Amino acid sequence: MRIAVIGTGAIGASWSALFLAHGHRVVAGDPAPGAEDALRAALRAHGADDAALEFAAGPAEAADGADFVQENGPERLAVKDAILAALDEAAPPATVIASSSSGLKPSDLQRACARHPERVLVGHPFNPPHLVPLVEVVPGARTAEAAVEAALAFYRGLGKRPVRVRRELPGHLANRLQAALWREAYALVEQGAASVADIDAAIANGPGLRWALLGPFLTQHLSGGPGGIAHVLEHLGPPMEDWWDDLGDPRLSPALTARIVAGVEEELAGADPAALAAERDALLTGLLAAKSRTDHL
């Protein structure tokens, strides 16, 4: 397949590595100075062969003749309007145009696509896309069912785990779940209940380990013994409602922002973030390989 990748920053480069690894031809477009050299360097860092990569002058040239379009422009609707209008004009009528937008609603993205809004949707990955399987597929008000099915099939063919989000919401699905956790984490820092490092340790060494294997509902179900989630909700439901009522509602004031930044710097203790990311990615690869060898995970 010929895949157009529009925007070749961190997300676009990671998508490109995945597409190339599955034998697709990638035609990339990004107006930033030095974008092609930066993309090829990123692909080498990801261990990808860039022989099947072409670089186009702009989005229209990249989308011309494409079998699938993955748009990764800045998360600003006015910027995406211009990009998507060009893509809609240039891409073949049946070609799906998927936006990597992390929070914009697809119906808003469709407004710039006068020719074929029915093939426009959100295909939001989790970073880095070449490693993390999740893709959120979110149709807009005018998205055709055929486009949704085509996107789901395309992502499955890449070894991804797409989920269909059935209602347009800011932040889609997983980012909203993350935002709920972040809100309480920031509130706990604001209240002085725990340090940044201790909150990270609590998640990374506790529920985060289980969440990497099973989602919140199945995790609750297994914790309920023979009674499963029905037992959990019967016995822990009332106190959980009390916890909900006591959750914080922080605002990112300059003081709280400074406190969080300082806490992260203290937690890093001089460690190289690039080395940390490399260790994370190596462990992710091993975890995904182990999960693939199980019957249910």
**With helix as H, strand as E and coil as C, how does the chain read?**
CEEEEECCCHHHHHHHHHHHHCCCEEEEECCCCCHHHHHHHHHHHCCCCCCCEEEECCHHHHHCCCCEEEECCCCCHHHHHHHHHHHHHHCCCCCEEEECCCCCCHHHHHHHCCCCHHHEEEEEECCCCCCCCEEEEEECCCCCHHHHHHHHHHHHHCCCEEEECCCCCCCCCHHHHHHHHHHHHHHHHHHCCCCHHHHHHHHHCCHHHHHCCCCHHHHHHHHCHHHHHHHHHHHHHHHHHHHHHHCCCCCCCHHHHHHHHHHHHHHHCCCCHHHHHHHHHHHHHHHHHHHHCCCCC
AA letter at 256 = L
Give the whole-angstrom CA distance, residue 276 versus residue 42.
Answer: 17
60, 90 Cβ separation under 8 angstroms: yes
Give the whole-angstrom CA distance, residue 5 versus residue 61.
Answer: 11
Instruction: Give the model confidence (pLDDT) of 125-155 as tens digits.
Output: 999 999 999 999 999 999 999 999 999 999 9
Give the whole-angstrom CA distance, residue 94 versus residue 214.
Answer: 36
Label residue 54 by pLDDT band (50, 70, 90): very high
Instruction: Give the model confidence (pLDDT) of 81-108 as tens digits.
Output: 999 999 999 999 999 999 999 999 999 9
Give the whole-angstrom CA distance, residue 191 versus residue 180.
Answer: 17
Instruction: Give the model confidence (pLDDT) of 211-223 as tens digits.
Output: 999 999 999 999 9
- What pLDDT, on a 0 to 100 scale, did the predictor assign at position 99? 98
Give the whole-angstrom CA distance, residue 169 versus residue 176.
Answer: 9
Which candidate, 173, 113, 182, 162, places its Cα nearest to that of 141?
113
Which candidate, 171, 3, 6, places its Cα nearest to that of 72?
6
- What pLDDT, on a 0 to 100 scale, did the predictor assign at position 132? 96
Give the whole-angstrom CA distance, residue 84 versus residue 113.
Answer: 6
Instruction: Give the model confidence (pLDDT) of 237-246 as tens digits.
Output: 999 999 999 9
Start-to-end Cα distance in the chain: 30
Say which CATH superfamily domain 174-292 falls into. Answer: N-(1-d-carboxylethyl)-l-norvaline Dehydrogenase; domain 2 (1.10.1040.10)
CATH class of this structure's domain 2-164: alpha beta
**Which backbone phi and psi does 191 adopt, to 5 degrees?**
-80, -10
Domain boundaries defined on the chain: 2-164, 174-292
- What pLDDT, on a 0 to 100 scale, did the predictor assign at position 297? 87
Q: Same CATH topology for 2-164 and 174-292?
A: no
